[in-house]
Amino acid sequence: MQIFGTKAFKVLTGTAVAAAMLLPSMSLAAATTYTPVAGGEFTFEKTLTYDADAILPDITFDFAIVGGTAKKASTNHVAVYSGTDAARVKTGTAADSASLTDTDLEDAIDSVSFGAADTDASGETTKNATVDLSGVYFNEPGVYRYKITEVVNSANVAHGVTYDDTSRYLDVYVTDSGSGVLAVSGYVLHSQEDYVPFTTGSTDPTAKSEGFTNAYETENLTIALDVDGNQASRDEYFEVKLSITGAIPGTEYTVDLTNADATTSVNGASSAAHTNPASITTDASGKAEVSFWLQNGQSIDVLGLSYGTTYTVTVSNEDGDLVADGYVAAVEADPASEGTASGDTFTDTDGIKEDTTVTFTLTKNGIIPTGVILAVAPAVAVFVIGGLGVTGIALKNRKKNDEE
């Protein structure tokens, strides 16, 4: 049975062909293929705090960054994807680009270094650390999370550097505004591993972070001199030699000479003038040796010795032989636990841990003869004076008799 006439069949056939031609174009118009977008750059703060008296040595801080943990969407919360999600994050824009891995992120954050030029009187210096995600490509909208931690350097720790052990999480917001083009619309750095952004309202967590804060701990060393005894010279300058070891190479220390002479003078007991250094700098092996010249009651302060720095202090006179000059040396430290005291030497072998005062006492006494000089001599003097008086009277009487 013929259902359609020839004319009707032609119309239907024409319509079907037209529809078939139209369907592919309609399908293409409805589909969207994103061009992956690069992650760009983000900066966070790196702050170092320290004693205002200290001069910063060369200290470098490193960071590690890996893909964060994905979080599922829930009521009022959007999903969070790992920053290394294999399906969504690539190493390039090509369709066959490899998935991004943690290894690809190893050099994404440059080191941050501090040095003497960064020292500030406030005791705090802040620099920026840059997260370079320009080689990271996102091919879908979403929130992508990365975990950032500090890499602990044991050498820095040994010299009093404390690290921030709280991880930070960088969320990268990739959006499509409706144009079919991806864009990185924002970054949020925070310290909440389980934070999931809201679908409405603020996307910033309560623990939003500016970055990492570290501390550099230092101690001050005071060296003092006391001279005692009835034969001791109060105006003589004695040499106090300081040997520093185990310091951070190239560290500079300020020396406070408020209680000492910047330049010593020549006097009866000191035949040469000396200049006391106002600063000390350790060499490439973290060592330094310097001499100070002090009189009775004087002292110097070496500021900003890094935690753990070892040192030895000795005292002598200009001739280099206290014993030959009749002096007995003694030394003590406050606190005493900071090192070992022995005569003319104090040694700290396990590193300075507290502000320390090392005091040398030089004693020189002599026995002053008594009795004969003080007891006999006055009596003799009285006898002589008395004798002279008697003689004078006798001569006077004799002259008077002769005149009569």
In a 3-state reduction of DSSP, which class is residue 331? strand
Asked whether the predicted pLDDT for residue 348 surpasses 70, the reply is yes
What is the per-residue pLDDT across 158-210, written as a single tens digit (0 to 9) for each? 999 999 999 999 999 999 988 999 999 999 999 999 999 988 876 667 789 99
Average pLDDT, integer, range 327-356: 95
What is the per-residue pLDDT across 297-311, written as a single tens digit (0 to 9) for each? 999 999 999 998 999
Round to whole Å and give the CA distance between 112 and 150. 11
pLDDT value at residue 367: 86
Asked whether the predicted pLDDT for residue 373 surpasses 80, the reply is no
pLDDT value at residue 371: 63
Average pLDDT, integer, range 91-120: 96
Could you give the count of Cα atoms lying within 13 Å of 155 in the half-sphere of its Cβ? 10
Could you give the count of Cα atoms lying within 13 Å of 278 in the half-sphere of its Cβ? 4
Average pLDDT, integer, range 210-227: 97
Which of 155, 153, 122 minimizes the C-alpha distance to 54? Answer: 122
DSSP string computed for 208-263: B--EEEEEE-EEEEEEEEEEESTT--SS--EEEEEEEESPPTT-EEEEE-TTS-SB
Asked whether the predicted pLDDT for residue 82 surpasses 50, the reply is yes
Sheet with 124-138, side-by-side order of all strands: 89-90, 124-138, 37-50, 211-216, 161-162
Round to whole Å and give the CA distance between 289 and 300. 15
pLDDT-derived band at 378 (thresholds 50, 70, 90) equals low
Average pLDDT, integer, range 355-367: 95
What is the per-residue pLDDT across 228-271, written as a single tens digit (0 to 9) for each? 999 999 999 999 999 999 999 999 999 999 999 999 999 878 88
Asked whether the predicted pLDDT for residue 122 surpasses 60, the reply is yes
Assigned token pair, 223:
């060296």
pLDDT-derived band at 289 (thresholds 50, 70, 90) equals very high
- 70-108 b/e (C-beta count within 10 Å ≥ 16 → b): ebeeeeeebebbbbbbeebbbeeeeeeeeebeeebbeeb
Round to whole Å and give the CA distance between 266 and 250. 34
Round to whole Å and give the CA distance between 5 and 10. 9
Which of 37, 54, 38 minimizes the C-alpha distance to 252? Answer: 54
**pTM score of the predicted model:** 0.79
Who's near 102: CB < 8 A, 6+ residues apart?
66, 67, 84
The residue that leads in pLDDT, 146 or 396, is 146
The residue that leads in pLDDT, 401 or 10, is 401
What is the per-residue pLDDT across 35-67, written as a single tens digit (0 to 9) for each? 999 999 999 999 999 999 999 999 999 999 999
